[in-house]
Amino acid sequence: MDDHTLDRNTGDLRRIEVITGTGRRRRWSAETKAQIIAESFTGEASVSEVARRHGLRPQQLFGWRHYARSGQFGGNGGDPPAFVPMITDGATAPASCAAMAGSAIEIEVAGLIVRVRGRVMAEALVEVLAAVKRAR
């Protein structure tokens, strides 16, 4: 909201800007930060665009990304690594587990790459990823 007042000394009008709002720091939950960071890594938009979309300065998002890459981001509160949603190009899923036998995924954790081929129990994979993270 703008207001105009008369400066008594010069007789000129002065513009005064009234800022409303709390004027305090925003607190982002770890879950919200993790979602924004994940969105910034998709490559669909630049980091600056993602930051502006969420009302952040790009420098702040770059900082969050740096902490996430170095393992200093407490997004999961010290729990073992959690699985994130997989983004696909719309291709259909394999018809059977036999089709998945030859498939493989690569997961980068703390600068190391873990390759997984075939079927693996989720609990075992979580334990491996946690051990890799602790080793670094």
65 occurs within a structural domain: yes
Half-sphere exposure of 85 (CA within 13 A, CB side): 8
Q: Is residue 1's pLDDT more than 50?
A: no
d(CA 63, CA 60): 5
30 occurs within a structural domain: yes
Least confident of 6-15, 32-41, 52-61, 66-75: 6-15
Residues 116-134: what's their mean pLDDT? 80
Percent of the chain residues topping a pLDDT of 70: 62
66-110 pLDDT, tens digit per residue, is: 888 887 776 544 454 556 666 666 655 555 555 555 667 888 776
Total domains, the chain: 2
Claim to verify: residue 100 and residue 59 sit in the same structural domain: no
Average predicted confidence (pLDDT) for the chain: 74
48-57 pLDDT, tens digit per residue, is: 999 999 989 9
Confidence of residue 62 (pLDDT cuts 50, 70, 90): very high
114 occurs within a structural domain: yes
Claim to verify: residue 66 and residue 28 sit in the same structural domain: yes
Q: Is residue 127's pLDDT more than 50?
A: yes
d(CA 108, CA 105): 10
Taking the whole predicted model, whether its pTM rises above 0.75 is answered as no
Claim to verify: residue 67 and residue 99 sit in the same structural domain: no
Report how far apart, in Å, the C-alpha atoms of 88 and of each of 10, 42, 43, 106 are: 66, 11, 13, 15
Query: Do the beta carbons of residue 99 and residue 91 sit within 8 Å?
Result: no
32 occurs within a structural domain: yes
Percent of the chain residues topping a pLDDT of 90: 12
84 occurs within a structural domain: no
33 occurs within a structural domain: yes
Residue-number span of the structural domain to which 44 is assigned: 23-78
88 occurs within a structural domain: no
Claim to verify: residue 28 and residue 73 sit in the same structural domain: yes
Claim to verify: residue 51 and residue 98 sit in the same structural domain: no
Residues 113-128: what's their mean pLDDT? 81
